């Protein structure tokens, strides 16, 4: 019998690539998104279902869990992938923008985990995979709010790694580096800095670096991350963290072996700030 996976945020990028990857591997796949009626690339069939799930709407989460179980009988893996990035100096972000960053990237994940846990506990099995970021292990300029939401998810995941093993449930974290997705487009919430002109030059330097083709040349693909997610879902190990991408591995090597002062100094010099 084929195993089943539920993936949040499957309308684009890593989520869509993961849905396609697992489907090609013979898995039953539930690709969830806020507007499944608008999806054109992923096609429903006996092993692929498209369900509505908005991580800021608990009722949609509960309904997606129920429909997924009804469709395939059992869910084996749940991937919390939905998320986006806020960009800009802290004081330029409105309360609404900052809280929404946490509502989607952190509290939405908590709600999804709470919704699937009764099913996993009843089965005495299951894998929860949280897609964080190398930005959950270290920070980049002007991404402090985003990074902090991913830091929080890293801490939550590490705690759950301990707590859920007694029920046969594994917790995994995927930490991509730079990925060739629309993260810098529709998935980026840029704070309005018009009332904070003192950041103008600083922000310009950072923005130019992030859009520099040389900076992006080492970025990985969504398909690469999908492969790492597949490894985490199928290796039957209790490994917590899975770095995804050459740059993520390089950043973490510097941080781990040379310390945060060295790594942050390198980031400053690279960014030219």
Per-residue pLDDT, 53? 98
Domain CATH code at residue 208: 3.40.50.720
Reported as type and span, the H/E element at residue 30 is strand 28-33
Per-residue pLDDT, 1? 74
**Rounded-to-integer distance, Cα 130 and Cα 38, Å:** 25
Active-site hit among 84, 146, 230, 242:
146
242 an active-site residue?
Answer: no
**Rounded-to-integer distance, Cα 176 and Cα 221, Å:** 10
> Does the pLDDT of residue 182 top 70, yes or no?
no
The 10s digit of each residue's pLDDT in 64-118 is 999 999 999 999 999 999 999 999 999 999 999 999 999 999 999 999 999 999 9
Closest to 211 measured CA to CA, from 248, 243, 178: 178
Query: Model confidence at 180, in pLDDT bands (50, 70, 90)?
Result: confident
> Does the pLDDT of residue 186 top 90, yes or no?
no
Alpha helices for the chain (secondary structure H): 13-24, 58-72, 95-102, 108-123, 144-164, 200-210, 213-216, 222-234, 246-258, 260-271
When pLDDT is averaged across residues 126-132 and rounded to a whole number, the result is 98
**Phi-psi category of 128—alpha, beta or left, where left has phi over 0 and alpha has psi -120 to 50?**
beta
**Rounded-to-integer distance, Cα 20 and Cα 13, Å:** 11
Q: Are the C-beta atoms of residues 32 and 199 closer than 8 Å to each other?
A: no
Q: Which domain range does residue 10 map to? A: 4-271
- The total of structural domains in the chain comes to 1
48-52 and 85-87 beta bridge pairing: unpaired
Query: Model confidence at 184, in pLDDT bands (50, 70, 90)?
Result: low
The 10s digit of each residue's pLDDT in 216-252 is 777 889 999 999 999 999 999 999 999 999 989 999 9
The average confidence (pLDDT) of the chain is 94
Per-residue pLDDT, 34? 96
């Amino acid at each position: 019998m084929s195993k089943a996976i539920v993936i949040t945020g499957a309308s684009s990028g890593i989520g869509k690539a993961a849905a396609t990857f697992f489907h090609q591997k013979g898995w039953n796949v539930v690709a969830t998104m806020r507007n499944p009626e608008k999806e054109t690339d992923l096609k429903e069939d006996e092993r692929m279902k498209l369900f509505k799930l908005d991580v800021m709407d608990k009722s949609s989460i509960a309904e997606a869990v129920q429909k997924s179980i009804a469709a395939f009988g059992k869910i084996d893996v749940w991937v919390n992938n939905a998320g986006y990035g806020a960009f800009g100096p802290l004081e330029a972000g409105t309360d609404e923008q900052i809280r929404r960053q946490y509502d989607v990237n952190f509290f939405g994940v908590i709600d999804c985990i709470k919704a699937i846990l009764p099913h996993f506990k009843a089965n005495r099995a299951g894998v929860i995979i949280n897609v964080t970021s190398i930005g959950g292990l270290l920070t980049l300029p002007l991404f402090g709010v985003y990074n902090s939401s991913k830091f929080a998810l890293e801490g939550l995941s590490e705690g759950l790694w301990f707590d859920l093993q007694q029920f046969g449930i594994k917790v995994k974290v995927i930490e991509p580096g730079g990925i060739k997705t629309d993260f810098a487009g529709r998935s980026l919430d840029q704070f309005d800095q018009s009332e904070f002109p003192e950041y103008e030059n600083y922000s310009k330097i950072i923005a130019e670096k992030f859009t520099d083709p040389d900076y992006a040349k080492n970025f990985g693909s969504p398909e690469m991350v999908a492969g790492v997610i597949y490894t985490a879902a199928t290796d039957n190990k209790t490994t917590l963290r899975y770095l995804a991408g050459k740059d993520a591995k390089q950043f973490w090597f510097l941080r781990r072996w040379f310390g945060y002062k060295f790594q942050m100094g390198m980031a400053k010099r690279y960014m030219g700030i």
